[in-house]
Amino acid sequence: MITGVFVGGTSGIGRAMAQAFARHTNGNAHIVIIGRNKIAAAELIASFPKADTNAIHEFIPCDVSLITNVHHTTSELARRLQRIDYLVLSSGILIFAGRNETSEGLDDKMALSYYSRWTFIHDLMPLMQKSERGAKVYSILAAGANSPIEKDNLDLRKNHTFGKMTAALTTYTNVAFQVNLFTYDHILNKITLLEQKFAKEEPNRSFNHAFPGFVRSPMLTPSTWYWKIPYYLVYPIFSFISVTPEVSGDIHFAALLESPPGFHSYNPKGKLMQYKPAEEETVDIVWEHTLELTERLHEH
Ligand SMILES: NC(=O)c1ccc[n+]([C@@H]2O[C@H](COP(=O)([O-])OP(=O)(O)OC[C@H]3O[C@@H](n4cnc5c(N)ncnc54)[C@H](OP(=O)(O)O)[C@@H]3O)[C@@H](O)[C@H]2O)c1
């Protein structure tokens, strides 16, 4: 049965993409929603089209800001799922706040938007390799141009600023997807990244990074409005330049469905963006950093 996993599927764009997937399959699918909000997940699952008896629509609670929890959840999925065809990653919180460390010593925003997503892809690759149609990964974040990395400050423990963090999240996600680092061959055989060519070595899997633009999701509601400007003053402009989560979800689900093999960046309208690949040295450094950090945070 076609299987879609939605990390951050309880709200906003991820929720709308899960609904689009449920409509697309008429409910005849294994749909896994991952997040913390059990009530929101139950409401979402109740909204899915009624399916045949083999279909499974389920919620797996997980605080994905902790990488140990992510490993735990991926182990559970590995035990229970036959394959994964679609993996949508959209967990996150408003990113304007300064550094806020989790109990694992990572900035919570970086953990949610990059390290946890990387870990989901890495750990779930064996299940994605079982997809006969060619698994597709879609990360809703901040597709765009790469920035220089700080080799001695990759987790931004020092001099953490909003600008540095958004640049790092964009670059790290691009770099990870750029060379299709998540090929199982690479993980198993540790072949050098230099042996891999941009978007050539993956026969059928697709890795996608999207910037959604302004979306009127719960993340950007008055209660979370970061700038202390009265919401009624900004709302007319904001509503003009933003879209609803449902519109954004439909756009990005369509892009996901049509995404060809390899790495692709998408703009808020779901159109392909130009991408200039990062230097191989940057790729190596970010890969080694992420692998070392996420492996260290395996549960014991
Ligand atoms: N909205 C925009 O205008 C906009 C613009 C640019 C980029 N983005 C990016 O797009 C992505 C999706 O944003 P959105 O607007 O859809 O946000 P949203 O409606 O607030 O949804 C965020 C999702 O992240 C999950 N999440 C947050 N913390 C979590 C945690 N500790 N553990 C597990 N799940 C957690 C939430 O689930 P639970 O509450 O169930 O935990 C929720 O499903 C984010 O990465 C965001 O940075 C959004």
Alpha carbons 20 and 207: distance in angstroms, whole number: 19
Sequence ranges of the domains in the chain: 3-218+245-296
> Measured over all CA atoms, what is the biggest interatomic distance in the chain, rounded to whole angstroms?
56
Q: How many A from CA of 169 to the centre of ligand 1?
A: 14
Query: What is the number of alpha carbons within 13 Å of residue 87 lying toward its C-beta?
Result: 29
Distances (CA, A) of 203 to 133, 165, 173: 11, 33, 20
Taking the CA of residue 242 as reference, the ligand 1 atom at the shortest distance is 3
165-186 pLDDT, tens digit each: 999 999 999 988 886 544 434 4
91-111 pLDDT, tens digit each: 999 877 788 999 999 999 999
Ligand 1, atom 32, lies closest to the CA of 63
Over residues 188-198, the mean pLDDT reads: 40
Taking the CA of residue 41 as reference, the ligand 1 atom at the shortest distance is 40
Alpha carbons 260 and 58: distance in angstroms, whole number: 28
Can you tell me whether residue 126 is helix, strand or coil? Answer: helix
Q: How many A from CA of 92 to the centre of ligand 1?
A: 4
Alpha carbons 300 and 133: distance in angstroms, whole number: 35
Which pTM value belongs to this model?
0.92
Q: How many A from CA of 150 to the centre of ligand 1?
A: 26
Ligand 1, atom 36, lies closest to the CA of 8
Q: Given 1.10.10.10, 3.40.50.720, 3.40.50.1000, 3.30.930.10, which CATH number is that of 3-218+245-296?
A: 3.40.50.720
Structure tokens at 245: 């989560």
- pLDDT at 26 exceeding the cut of 50: yes
7-17 pLDDT, tens digit each: 999 999 999 99
Taking the CA of residue 218 as reference, the ligand 1 atom at the shortest distance is 19
The separation between CA 150 and the C-alpha centre of its own chain, rounded to angstroms, equals 23
Q: How many A from CA of 216 to the centre of ligand 1?
A: 12
247-276 pLDDT, tens digit each: 999 999 999 999 988 888 999 999 999 888
Structure tokens at 178: 């750029």
Nearest to 18 by CA among 31, 29, 30, 28: 31
Q: How many A from CA of 210 to the centre of ligand 1?
A: 14
Which residues approach ligand 1 with their CB closer than 6 A? 8, 10-14, 35-37, 40, 62-65, 90-93, 95, 112-113, 140-142, 212, 214-215, 217-220
Taking the CA of residue 14 as reference, the ligand 1 atom at the shortest distance is 16
Q: How many A from CA of 168 to the centre of ligand 1?
A: 18
The residues with which 139 forms a beta bridge, in sequence order, are 89, 209
pLDDT at 299: 63
